[in-house]
Structure 1
Amino acid sequence: MNIEHLQILRMVVECGSFSTAALKLDISQSAVSRAIAALEEELGVSLLTRGRFGAHPTLVGERVLHHARIMLEARENIDYEINIAKGLQGGRVRVASFRSAATHLLPPLIARFCQRFPAIDVAITEDDPIGVEQALREGRVDLGLVPLPRSSEDFDTWEIARDEFVVLLPRSAQPIPAQLTWAALSQYSFILYNYAECTSAVRNHWAKWGQSPKVAYEVKEDSTIVSMVAQGLGAAVLPRLAALPIPAGVEVRSLPVPLERIIGAATVANILQPPAVFAFLDLLRGTGLFADTH
């Protein structure tokens, strides 16, 4: 059975006439007529009624058309997979990410991706989330990892992971309880992360519960904060990924009321991405080519 004949049958029924279907398909009306005649001859039944009110499917034509649509959809899916495969024989994916996600989330994912698609180059750039957004807008990268939500409508975003904010405490002679209270936290001076999104999230969370952290330092680098806690210079609240690796001398606890940040993948909205980028998005989301691999 000729797939093109089925496509022509579908178009004739959708348009209601041979002439309109011919215009839509950019072929002659006689070619449409020959295709329908050949299909009817092959099947041995009349598929369409013709008249001055147009062309309409017969009862058996309706049933044949139902199956034809399934076959055409399957053919389109096959074409899609083939085009993806052809596009994945090479190319590149440029990813920008904030440091902790680049350090702890991306390497095992990239290793899996490169094992499956060794001909595709993957490049990573580290930047803060604002820098990641700018790199996406300027077309310097294809994908970005950023905390969600983002205020800009320039991007399509997908959640890919969640990261708990944890309390880092210096070890002391007195045992630290497994479950902290706000009252217990009020005894500590805190080293805050000097980065607006994380600091605002922590301060807002504290304020929501009628609390305010006592701040001793504000530091730009998360690794410096962890080191300062290990030296007994204060406590800290950081996303767990930003705190890794946890050195000896630092205790980790959850906040009295849990707080998480959402890590997402972002692309510029309304831009058709190449197959390699779509495949990497599948990897991040655990969909499509990488379904059920998380």
Structure 2
Amino acid sequence: MDIKPLRYFIAIAKTASFTKAAEQLNVAQPAVSMAIKKLETDLGLTLIHRADRNIVLTDEGKKLLFHAQKIIQATDEALLEMSELKGLSQGEVRVGIPGMMGSYYFPPILMAFRHKYPTISLKVIEGGTWQLQKMLERGELDLSVIVADTLPASLETQALIREEMLVTVATDHPFCELDKITAERFFKEELVMFKEGYFHRRIVDKLAQKCQMTPNIGFETNLIPLIKSIIQQGFGVSTLLAMVVEQDDQLITRSFDPPIWLDLDIAWRKGSYLSKANQAFLDFVCEHGQNYGKV
């Protein structure tokens, strides 16, 4: 079977449009339509239901999509490995990084890596750890930072960093008089939180469930400078990684009682081929991450 129609089919499934799929693939729309029609004829099945300009996969189409994604992923990995056997010096790293780490932990590491490997292209995707983990499992990323306690059997990991989650308040907040903050005290305050799907939010939600308390979330934002500003002005409290709070932020941090530690790993798909570029990035991050992270 020619796998090109499978690429077309996957693009249509993702975009729900023949036109958008053709634009994404940089081919003429008639070529896409003809390829899908031939694929359906060869298989003797209807894969796509077309009605009122809506593109919906049939049950047969959904089953093919599952296999098509695996076939394309395996083909791309095989072609990459064969290319590298010929001594290619260039490559691309697609890595997923949570926003909090992307802003404070990874910049010096990424710059140092680019300095050492100037021919390797870095594509950094920012998002919540849960979203990034799913993108990694689907083959949309090569590597990703994930929370260690959510590791599925389909991924392999290398320990990356352990950081404490700290209660973060304004300099005149009553918590400043305390050495540690219990979860019960924390949840009595109005909170400034990341949106759902980010490890920052998931930790707080799990803690609330454990304490059988409902968080009073006054603000939701993934913008760290905005979170800091809201806290500084006394409109809420939050919890941030120790690396995020800097000396000139005019913020006070306290440990939870008991302390909350976050273990973050860098992960890749189990059994998949790691290109030379990805292996170089993985080795570099694991070797130099702790040193570059402490800026």
Q: Same fold (TM over 0.5)?
A: yes
* Aligned residue type for 2:150: R
Name stretches of at least 5 consecutive residues in structure 2 with no aligned partner. Answer: 1-83
Counterpart mapping for 1:131-280 below 5 A: 131-172=131-172, 176-177=176-177, 179-182=179-182, 185=186, 188-196=189-197, 197-205=199-207, 212=213, 215-223=216-224, 224-241=226-243, 243-244=244-245, 248-280=249-281
SS at match of 2:258: coil
Q: Deviation string for 1:177-233 (max 9, x for gaps)?
A: 36124376466333343325433423444665x574762425132523322211111
Report if the CA contact (8 A) 2:136-2:269 is conserved: yes
Report if the CA contact (8 A) 1:194-1:218 is conserved: no
SS at match of 1:255: strand
* Aligned residue type for 2:177: P
Q: Deviation string for 1:224-267 (max 9, x for gaps)?
A: 332221111121123334x4457644212221221011111111
Please give the alpha-carbon distance, in whole angstroms, between the structure 1 residues aligned to 2:144 and 2:209. 31
Change in CA separation of 1:165 and 1:137 when aligned onto 2, cut-off 3 Å? same
Q: CA RMSD for the aligned pairs?
A: 3.4
- Higher RCO by CA contacts (8 Å cutoff, separation 6 or greater): 2
* Aligned residue type for 2:189: Y
SS at match of 2:228: helix
Name stretches of at least 5 consecutive residues in structure 1 with no aligned partner. Answer: 1-83
TM-score with structure 1 length normalisation?
Answer: 0.59
* Aligned residue type for 2:95: V
TM-score with structure 2 length normalisation?
Answer: 0.59
Please give the alpha-carbon distance, in whole angstroms, between the structure 2 residues aligned to 1:107 and 1:128. 18
Q: What's the offset of the Cα at 1:137?
A: 3.0
Report if the CA contact (8 A) 1:195-1:220 is conserved: no
Report if the CA contact (8 A) 2:109-2:289 is conserved: no
Please give the alpha-carbon distance, in whole angstroms, between the structure 2 residues aligned to 1:185 and 1:291. 32
Note if 1:109 corresponds to 2:114: no
SS at match of 1:108: helix
Please give the alpha-carbon distance, in whole angstroms, between the structure 2 residues aligned to 1:175 and 1:153. 41
Q: Deviation string for 1:31-82 (max 9, x for gaps)?
A: xxxxxxxxxxxxxxxxxxxxxxxxxxxxxxxxxxxxxxxxxxxxxxxxxxxx
Please give the alpha-carbon distance, in whole angstroms, between the structure 2 residues aligned to 1:293 and 1:191. 30
Q: Which has the larger radius of gyration?
A: 1
Please give the alpha-carbon distance, in whole angstroms, between the structure 2 residues aligned to 1:128 and 1:119. 29
Please give the alpha-carbon distance, in whole angstroms, between the structure 2 residues aligned to 1:114 and 1:104. 17
Report if the CA contact (8 A) 1:144-1:266 is conserved: yes
- After TM superposition, the structure 1 stretch with the greater mean CA deviation from structure 2, 162-171 or 223-232, is 223-232
Report if the CA contact (8 A) 1:188-1:234 is conserved: yes
Change in CA separation of 1:232 and 1:213 when aligned onto 2, cut-off 3 Å? farther
Aligned length: 207
